[in-house]
Amino acid sequence: MRRPLGTRAPLLAVRGAALAYLLAFVALPVAALAREGFRGGAAKFVAALASDQARAALGLTLKVALAMAAVNAVMGTWIAYVLVRRPFPGRAVVDALVDLPFAIPTLVTGVMLVALYGPQSTLGALAGASGLRLMYAPPGIVIALLFVTLPFVVRAVQPVLLELDVGQEEAALTLGASPWTAFRRVLLPPLVPAITSGTLLSFARALGEFGAIVVVSGNIPGRTLTAAVLVYGEIESGRPQVAAAVSTALLSFAFALIVTVDWLQRRARHAVL
């Protein structure tokens, strides 16, 4: 059907601008990264990932991210529950505080944590005397990740909890359930998709975290060097191929997680309707 260009020109212009912007800013750089990662073929890509240093860094990254995710799933749900269901004075301030990690530069997060828990601080010295090393060690990395990803689970669970009927919990109590049983059997099941989404997102975020970790980890190769910090080191030492290979692997994994979360959330929305 003839359709004069004039009627469609503004639409096409907006569509074209949006597409061009995304292609130039997102697709092109990612393509360049993937090309560098696979320079020299798949064998070299695998070899780069299998080197001792890369394996140690990837292993540590997964380990600290898992530890963070476990704590975050529990504490994030807990905080969301208290914020929604247990009104207390100052609730609004605490609620706002939860978003602080989104606003604070990650590097500043690292600086703050070292100032509080570092070996030179009272707390750090105290912990060190009892044999627990917080900063420049894996626990410090986990603490930094917990700080950075705090909002993810809380903000995923909160809206779902708000929409759940308080009556269900109360009904369970009148039927003789203990508060803990009521929470576990009645409240928790509908929250599981939201908790999963938030935890996966925080996990994806943790895989690439750099600013907070580079300050608190000490960056000891093979012990406290995470993948993102390794990438940084490899670039600085002029070995972009290893950096690109590790980046490509991490990026693919993190993106798969985000797509999964998107799918989970869309499915949850359809289930509600």
Q: Taking CB under 8 A as the criterion, which residues in 208-237 touch other proteins?
A: 208-211, 214-215, 228-229, 231-232, 235
x-or-dash pattern for other proteins, window 146-165, by CB under 8 A? xx--x---------------
Part of the chain binding other proteins (CB under 8 A), chosen from 32-40, 125-133, 157-165, 191-199: 32-40
Q: Does 244 bind other proteins (CB under 8 A)?
A: yes
Total binding residues toward other proteins, as defined by CB under 8 A: 89
Q: Does 137 bind other proteins (CB under 8 A)?
A: no
Quote the least distance from Cβ 254 to other proteins, whole Å: 4
5 vs 129, beta carbon nearer other proteins: 5
Part of the chain binding other proteins (CB under 8 A), chosen from 50-58, 128-136, 172-180, 217-225: 172-180
Which residues, numbered 33-62, are part of the site for other proteins (CB under 8 A)? Answer: 33, 35-36
Q: Does 79 bind other proteins (CB under 8 A)?
A: yes
SS3 per residue for the chain:
CCCCHHHHHHHHHHHHHHHHHHHHHHHHHHHHHHHHHCCCHHHHHHHHHHCHHHHHHHHHHHHHHHHHHHHHHHHHHHHHHHHHHCCCCCHHHHHHHCCHHHHCCHHHHHHHHHHHHCCCCHHHHHHHHCCCCCCCCHHHHHHHHHHHHHHHHHHHHHHHHHHCCHHHHHHHHHCCCCHHHHHHHHHHHHHHHHHHHHHHHHHHHHHHCCHHHHHHCCCCCCCCCCHHHHHHHHHHCCCHHHHHHHHHHHHHHHHHHHHHHHHHHHHHHHHHC
Q: Does 105 bind other proteins (CB under 8 A)?
A: yes
x-or-dash pattern for other proteins, window 184-213, by CB under 8 A? --------------------xx-xxxxx--
Quote the least distance from Cβ 265 to other proteins, whole Å: 12
Q: Does 66 bind other proteins (CB under 8 A)?
A: no
Q: Does 270 bind other proteins (CB under 8 A)?
A: no
